[in-house]
């Protein structure tokens, strides 16, 4: 095969890679800008036993050992799973990282439990953070930031406690194992957590770009299920920001200390732009 043919094939491969990445990125941005996604969150409210009314949600909200409760005034109503609710409604005990969605008009209301505390998080499609969102800057996609690795499972899932962007809050995740991989001649290891799809994984990490060109607190990477030999592909081009990069009303986890990579991963999403200025937001 001639050198010219090899270069041509390499160009085709790079073009196909870039096209596949662009389709993934466009889909990810579309999901992020969902009318009731995190960009629409207008407040984060920590519930306690005192019934409290919030300006961006109907009713008075409280919680106890029996779970969250809302007391709706005359003329107020919410909808849960298609059922109209008036008066007093008990949500019951919500499991950690679980939640229930209610709605009223164009707004939705997330009733959830995070770090052992029940929360109310309203989402309004008219919120400026969503309305003014114009996309997230990214590094150019490159196959050089893909790495082949091996998933090394623990004998038993290991509980890992990590911090949160919300002060005083901690998260506990069960880690099924670690991912060992080589990137640009160096060997690294990342503690993995269970992904949403069966047997899939995800990692939280920072690197030498964090707080410089990428969001300071964390980035996330989804990884497909290991094959029969435990092999996985880590594509840092698909490293994404968590909601906390866009809103102060998030409770995102921080990476475990061992997931702080000492190299600059110049791939994936960068620090979001501030909607009013077009400049990078200050790292939180």
Spans of the chain below 50 pLDDT: 1-10, 276-284
Q: What is the pLDDT of residue 3?
A: 34
Q: What is the pLDDT of residue 277?
A: 38
Q: What is the pLDDT of residue 184?
A: 82
Q: What is the pLDDT of residue 132?
A: 95
- Alpha carbon distance, N-terminus to C-terminus of the chain: 52
Q: Which residues contact 140 (CB under 8 A, 6 or more apart)?
A: none
Q: What is the pLDDT of residue 121?
A: 98
- The separation between CA 256 and the C-alpha centre of its own chain, rounded to angstroms, equals 15
- The separation between CA 113 and the C-alpha centre of its own chain, rounded to angstroms, equals 16
Q: What is the pLDDT of residue 155?
A: 96
* Residue 47 exposed, middle or buried by CB count within 10 Å (0-12, 13-18, 19+): buried
Q: What is the pLDDT of residue 281?
A: 47
Q: What is the pLDDT of residue 13?
A: 75
Q: Which of 130, 114, 121 is nearest to 32 (CA)?
A: 130
Q: What is the pLDDT of residue 273?
A: 82
* Gap between the Cα atoms of 130 and 32, Å rounded: 9
Q: What is the pLDDT of residue 6?
A: 35
- Is residue 100 a contact partner of residue 151, using CB atoms and an 8 Å limit? no
Listed by start position, the domains of the chain span 38-131, 135-284
Q: What is the pLDDT of residue 276?
A: 42
């Amino acid at each position: 095969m001639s050198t010219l043919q090899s270069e041509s094939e390499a160009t085709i491969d790079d073009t196909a890679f870039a096209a596949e990445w662009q389709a993934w990125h466009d889909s990810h941005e579309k999901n992020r800008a969902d009318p009731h996604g995190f960009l629409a969150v207008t407040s984060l409210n920590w519930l306690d036993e005192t019934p409290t009314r919030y300006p961006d949600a109907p009713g008075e909200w409280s919680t106890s050992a029996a779970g969250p409760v809302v007391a709706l005034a005359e003329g107020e109503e919410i909808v849960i799973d298609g059922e109209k609710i008036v008066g007093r409604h008990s949500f019951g005990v919500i499991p950690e990282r679980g939640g229930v969605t209610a709605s009223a008009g164009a707004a939705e209301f997330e009733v959830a439990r995070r770090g052992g505390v029940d929360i109310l998080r309203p989402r309004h499609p008219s919120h400026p953070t969503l309305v003014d969102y114009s996309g997230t800057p990214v590094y150019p996609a490159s196959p050089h930031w893909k790495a082949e690795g091996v998933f090394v499972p623990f004998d038993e899932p290991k509980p890992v406690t990590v911090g949160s962007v919300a002060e005083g809050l901690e998260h506990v995740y069960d880690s099924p194992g670690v991912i060992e991989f080589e990137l640009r001649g160096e060997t690294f290891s990342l503690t993995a957590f269970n992904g949403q799809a069966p047997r899939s994984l995800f990692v939280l990490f920072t690197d030498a770009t964090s707080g410089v060109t990428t969001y300071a607190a964390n980035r996330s990477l989804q990884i497909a299920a290991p094959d029969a030999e435990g092999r996985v592909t880590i594509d840092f081009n698909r490293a994404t920001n968590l909601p906390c990069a866009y809103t102060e009303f998030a409770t995102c986890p921080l990476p475990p200390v061992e997931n702080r990579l000492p190299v600059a991963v110049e791939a994936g999403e960068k620090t979001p732009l501030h909607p009013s200025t077009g400049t990078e937001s200050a790292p939180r």
